[in-house]
Structure 1
Amino acid sequence: MEELRKVHDFAKSVDVPIQFLSKKEAKRREPDVRAEAGVLESPSTGIVDSHGYMQFLHGEFEEFGGTTALASPVSRIQAPSNGRGDWKIWTAPPSSTDPTASSPSAAVPELEGEDTSITAETIINSAGLYACGISNMILPPKRHIKPYYAKGTYFSYSKSHPKPDTLVYPAPVPGHGGLGTHLTFDMTGRVRFGPDVEWVDSPDDLAPTANTERFKAAIEDIKSYLPGIDADAIALDYAGIRPKLGKLGAVASAQGFQDFYIEMEKGFAGFVNLLGVESPGLTASLAIAEEVHEMLYRR
């Protein structure tokens, strides 16, 4: 309950609609959900069609004259001399460079084929899992940032009961790198659980982790708030990776929380860095875009 109160107070401070429900009301709405200490309701929380959303934004981008260059790994970036002029960005054929190069040193790879370059007045580094590597190509070594990769495995559920009508999140665990193995839905209404948190070394380690102990731990997490679940109907589904800047908490109200890093880098005019943008970066993307626009053109 102490952690729920922290979430409540923080949400109120940033004008997010949130309220506590009585045990009686919570039981009436979701009789299958176990909630001993209390229930905090966030009525504006939901799910979005992520692929449809991205396709729409991409279409808008191209309609306004934008060009998308896929399979063009960035191999080198040259800042404007004396802070004036254009940035220069080199790209290489996919086979000529390692797109996962995101170490603090971000060494420039040896190129096998001919590289190409473009110039730009501004650079917005929104490279997700590879953003630290891009940042480290530009900033001096003392400002390099080490990336951390929090892999999360999701689990499917093949039965129709129990099936709450709303998303269910366990109370936050201080310092935990995720939001707990929560219950959510896909766009078809299918129940899924997850993600858990597993720290991995590579941003390409995307196979669901078939580890017996981790699977048992996830089952126990789920049973803590949905005791009537049939464990035999839970199975591995898919996995994703959250780009993080440390092994820190994922809830803003908790100590040790690492927020998104959104900065116009000092000494590098026209360079905006977006690092550690994990979930809910997708649903916050328009708000982030407004902030970046403000940094570049209105301050």
Structure 2
Amino acid sequence: MYDYCQKNDVPHMNCGKWIVAQDDVQMQECHKVHEFAKSIDVPIRYVSKEEAQRREPDVRAEAGVLESSSTGIVDSHGFMQSLLGDFENEGGTLALVSPVTRIQPPSNGDLEWKIWTGTDASEPIPSSPTPQTPEQSPASEEDTFITAETVINSAGLYACAINNMILPTERHRTQFYAKGSYFTYSKSHPKPSTLIYPAPVPGHGGLGTHLTLDMGGQVRFGPDVEWVGSANDLAPNADSERFAAALADIKSYLPGIDPSSVSLGYAGIRPKLGKASATAGGKTFQDFYIAKEKGFEGFINLLGIESPGLTSSLAIGEERN
């Protein structure tokens, strides 16, 4: 990712990330992260109290700090624009405002897939459409289709809907939507130069209300986790109790903030394959489902690709098996 950004002049910054623990329970979660990172050769280390105080004096970490030195931030829009340029230079075509309405797998000696698209993007496809045969669901005169030897389902929030158009009922997936609201901070102090994450909390659906930075160095906090029923529910949640909980979370590791300078910003939605937490130790948690689906030659499925999918997109693209 860093190599790509450097070669293509995509703005980025290797600012590092701290995971901070305030008690023994949180420190145990840091130990789990440390051991897992070591097992996959991700650079990670503990930061001494003296070093932590010297580097980020405004950050509270009563029990310890775990540092991921290779973590960074990227101009996501610039990155996607660069990838689109690469795609188009190789002959690719981006078709916007073309919601998929039906997909027909190869059959009866036909080696190609058929993908029908509509023209009305105001009505997004449902999360669990009922599969229909061509006879049951004829394409309208306005619909068009394309053919392809390979179909890669990387539809994000609508990936489960595409999955359910193709696979039999027993292999259908239910999409869960985890909305996260972000909060902006208008003052210039405190202003850490490192990303700050609270230690994972078992049972939570996210990573806590963490401190992140944009390419201009502006501080923001979030996201929190709110389960919603639609991919279009993008209004930030102004609930006072939720805002108070986020403030408490932020003040646990950045006690010097001015609460009156924290305000609601924007919201995004993460595509989840369940409501279990990655830190809960349960076997039901799943993300980054990447597979060539058996019985459907030429269909590659990508489900549960949450926000880390942006920075791991180049690595995902290199997957071969």
| TM-score normalised by structure 1 residue count | 0.93
Q: What is the alpha-carbon distance in structure 1 between the residues aligned to residue 140 and residue 237 of structure 2? A: 35
Question: Is the 1:83–1:268 Cα contact (8 Å) retained in structure 2?
Answer: no
With over 3 angstroms needed to count, the CA separation of the structure-2 counterparts of 1:101 and 1:169, relative to structure 1, is same
Query: Which of 105, 115, 125 in structure 1 is aligned with 2:143?
Result: 115
Query: Which of 73, 96, 99 in structure 2 is aligned with 1:47?
Result: 73
Question: Is the 2:129–2:165 Cα contact (8 Å) retained in structure 1?
Answer: no
Which runs of 5 or more structure 1 residues have no equivalent in the other structure? none
With over 3 angstroms needed to count, the CA separation of the structure-2 counterparts of 1:74 and 1:43, relative to structure 1, is same
The total of aligned residue pairs comes to 291
Q: Secondary structure at the match of 2:146?
A: strand
Question: Is the 2:100–2:125 Cα contact (8 Å) retained in structure 1?
Answer: no
Question: Is the 1:73–1:92 Cα contact (8 Å) retained in structure 2?
Answer: yes
Query: Are residues 1:5 and 2:31 paired?
Result: yes
> How many percent identity over aligned positions?
69
**Distance apart, 1:259 and its partner CA:** 2.7
Alignment of structure 1 residues 246-285 onto 2, 5 Å: 246-250=274-278, 254-256=281-283, 257-285=285-313
Which runs of 5 or more structure 2 residues have no equivalent in the other structure? 1-26
Corresponding residue for 2:262? 234
Residue by residue, what CA displacement relative to the aligned partner does 1:8-59 show, whole Å, maximum 9, x if unpaired? 0000101100000111211111111110111001010111110000000000
Q: What is the alpha-carbon distance in structure 1 between the residues aligned to residue 114 and residue 49 of structure 2? A: 60
Question: Is the 1:83–1:267 Cα contact (8 Å) retained in structure 2?
Answer: no
> What is the alpha-carbon root mean square deviation over aligned residues?
1.8
| TM-score normalised by structure 2 residue count | 0.87
**Distance apart, 1:111 and its partner CA:** 6.3
Q: What is the alpha-carbon distance in structure 2 between the residues aligned to residue 56 and residue 106 of structure 1? A: 36
Corresponding residue for 1:220? 248
Alignment of structure 1 residues 25-64 onto 2, 5 Å: 25-64=51-90
Q: What is the alpha-carbon distance in structure 2 between the residues aligned to residue 254 and residue 11 of structure 1? A: 16
With over 3 angstroms needed to count, the CA separation of the structure-2 counterparts of 1:210 and 1:100, relative to structure 1, is farther
With over 3 angstroms needed to count, the CA separation of the structure-2 counterparts of 1:164 and 1:233, relative to structure 1, is same
With over 3 angstroms needed to count, the CA separation of the structure-2 counterparts of 1:254 and 1:42, relative to structure 1, is farther
Corresponding residue for 1:74? 100
Q: Secondary structure at the match of 1:151?
A: strand
Q: What is the alpha-carbon distance in structure 1 between the residues aligned to residue 162 and residue 205 of structure 2? A: 24
Question: Is the 2:180–2:226 Cα contact (8 Å) retained in structure 1?
Answer: yes
Residue by residue, what CA displacement relative to the aligned partner does 1:41-82 show, whole Å, maximum 9, x if unpaired? 101011111000000000010001001111111110001116
**Distance apart, 1:175 and its partner CA:** 2.5
**Distance apart, 1:83 and its partner CA:** 7.7
With over 3 angstroms needed to count, the CA separation of the structure-2 counterparts of 1:113 and 1:236, relative to structure 1, is farther
Question: Is the 2:106–2:112 Cα contact (8 Å) retained in structure 1?
Answer: yes
**Distance apart, 1:280 and its partner CA:** 0.3
**Distance apart, 1:110 and its partner CA:** 8.2
Query: Which of 69, 72, 94 in structure 1 is aligned with 2:120?
Result: 94
**Distance apart, 1:255 and its partner CA:** 3.9
Q: What is the alpha-carbon distance in structure 2 between the residues aligned to residue 54 and residue 268 of structure 1? A: 29
Corresponding residue for 2:47? 21
